[in-house]
Amino acid sequence: MKELTPGGNAPVPSSLVTVRVQTGVAADIASFRLFDGGKVKGDADFVFYGQKVNDDGSIRLLTEGVNTTFAINLPNINASVEKIAFSATCDAGKTVASLGSLLITVEVAGEPVVKCVVELTGRSEAALILGELYRRNNEWKFRFISQGFNGGLKPLAEHFGVDISEDQSPEPNPEPAPASATKVSLSKVSLTKEKPTVSLKKQDDYGLIRVNLNWNQSATHRGIVGGLFGAKKGIDLDLGAFVRLKDGYKTVVQALGNGFGSLHEEPFVELQGDDRTGAVSDGEWLHINGKQWKDIDEVLIYAFIYEGVPNWDSTDGVVTVHVPGQGPIESRLTDGYSGHGMCAIARLVNTDGAISVERVNRYFSGHRDMDRAWGWGFRWTAGSK
């Protein structure tokens, strides 16, 4: 592995590579596919929290938070692409020094080949251009840049030529914009202790509501493997939900017990499979039928560690709620207590037909304790998957 200083470069095999950005606290990491003149050709060249894959699937954002990873299929990158740049931006009012630490690695087949440590002490910028993959004589190299940028993600994206919307509230009965005028929206809501709730405008049909759980794929727990305590393996972090309908019907949707639910019949909530290791690049998904939201009273979203000793601190878990026409709503598992294996993350509550999304982030020893805390009244037996 080669460790670079700013301005340095190193060759990278033309293969499937992973660019990993690790920070002390969560930051917004983005990539830009750049052409002649160092600009994007269109908004599809911008990959970030609101658009996690580009148009040809050659660049994918896999995880976010303090351990952000991009999977880049270099052989599939169009020949007209000159560079793929990577950036980091902080929350409003903060500087990159607040990140505490920042490490960039380029990995091939799980092994790091390039390492770049960003010195943050005293830096006052709100964003950084971290580095870039670039072509030279038909070969790929990675250059460590660490260039400060005054401004957040919007001016940084515009610097690379991305057309950003102003995220203004739409006017009543607006004229539909032509497809060519579509702009990238940076709107995102992060639920925190200070701002734990967001309410969405009432609609007759919210469309397909998608809830995603993603976490650090390299996170491990220490458990009993082969009769020996202390072996390490990947954490099995599972997504689930308590669902209650307006008519009083209630159920549990989760992989444990094979209770995957149903999207078009009661409970109108369905788990989209089960990722036992985090190997699925975009984590686990729970779908909610927004056309039937009028019949749903509440959906309590939770995650639990299925195997081993709980180690929430290393999961970097984040749940993101995607509602058509809205920016992503995210809640991070930042207050983990390692002695408890279950986290109630967020509640989606029907408030006079509208959706209220509430951050919870409370930890429990198991399903029964979480049930008691919220008064759902289920009867619990041992389950398996």
Output the tens digit of pLDDT for each of the chain's 385 residues: 899 999 999 999 999 999 999 998 888 999 999 999 999 998 899 999 888 899 999 999 988 878 899 999 999 999 999 999 999 998 777 899 999 999 999 999 989 999 999 999 989 999 999 999 999 988 999 999 999 988 888 889 999 998 887 654 433 334 444 433 457 777 788 888 888 999 998 999 999 999 988 876 555 444 433 333 344 455 667 899 999 999 999 999 998 888 999 999 999 999 987 554 444 456 789 999 999 999 999 999 998 876 654 566 667 778 889 898 788 898 887 665 557 888 899 999 999 999 999 999 888 888 999 999 999 999 887 655 4
CA distance 329 to 52: 15
Cβ within 8 Å of residue 93, ≥6 positions away? none
| Residue pair 346/331 in contact by the 8 Å Cβ criterion | yes
State the maximum Cα–Cα separation within the chain, in Å, rounded to a whole number: 67
Integer Cα distance of 170 and 187 in angstroms: 13
Pairwise CA distance, residues 271 & 286, whole Å: 4
Measured between its terminal Cα atoms, the distance across the chain in Å is 40
DSSP 3-state assignment of 154? helix
pLDDT of res. 338: 57
Report the DSSP beta bridge partners of residue 47: 31
Q: What are the angstrom distances between the C-alpha of 74 and each of 110, 130, 208, 313?
A: 16, 19, 33, 33
Whole-number pLDDT of residue 211 = 93
What digits encode the pLDDT tens for the residues 283-304?
789 999 999 999 999 999 998 8
Q: How far from the centroid of its chain's Cα atoms is residue 234's Cα?
A: 18
220, 200 in Cβ contact below 8 A? Answer: no
Among residues 234, 3, 215, 24, the alpha carbon closest in space to that of 105 is found at 3
Name beta bridge partners: 137. none
The pair of structure tokens assigned to 183 is 């702009």
pTM: 0.70
Q: What is the pLDDT of residues 206-231, one digit of tens each?
A: 999 999 888 765 554 444 333 333 44
pLDDT of amino acid 181: 45
Q: How far apart are CA 256 and CA 212, in angstroms?
A: 18
Q: Dihedral of CA 47/29/198/378: which sign?
A: positive
Confidence (pLDDT) at 237: 77
Q: What is the b/e burial string over 196-229, where b = at least 16 CB atoms within 10 angstroms of the residue's CB? A: eebebeebeebbebbbbbbbbbebebebeeeeee
Structure tokens at 265: 């019949």
Are 243 and 250 in contact by the 8 Å Cβ rule? The answer is yes
pLDDT digits (tens, 9 = 90+) for 124-139: 999 999 999 999 988 9
245: CB partners within 8 A, 6+ apart: 266, 267, 268, 295, 296, 297
10 Å CB burial of residue 36 (0-12, 13-18, 19+) is exposed
Closest to 272 (Cα-Cα) out of 260, 280, 282, 264: 260
Asked if residue 174 has a cis previous peptide bond (ω within 30° of 0), the answer is no
Assess contact for 108 and 80: CB atoms under 8 A: no
CA 166 – CA 154 distance, rounded (Å): 9
As beta bridge partners, residue 160 has: none
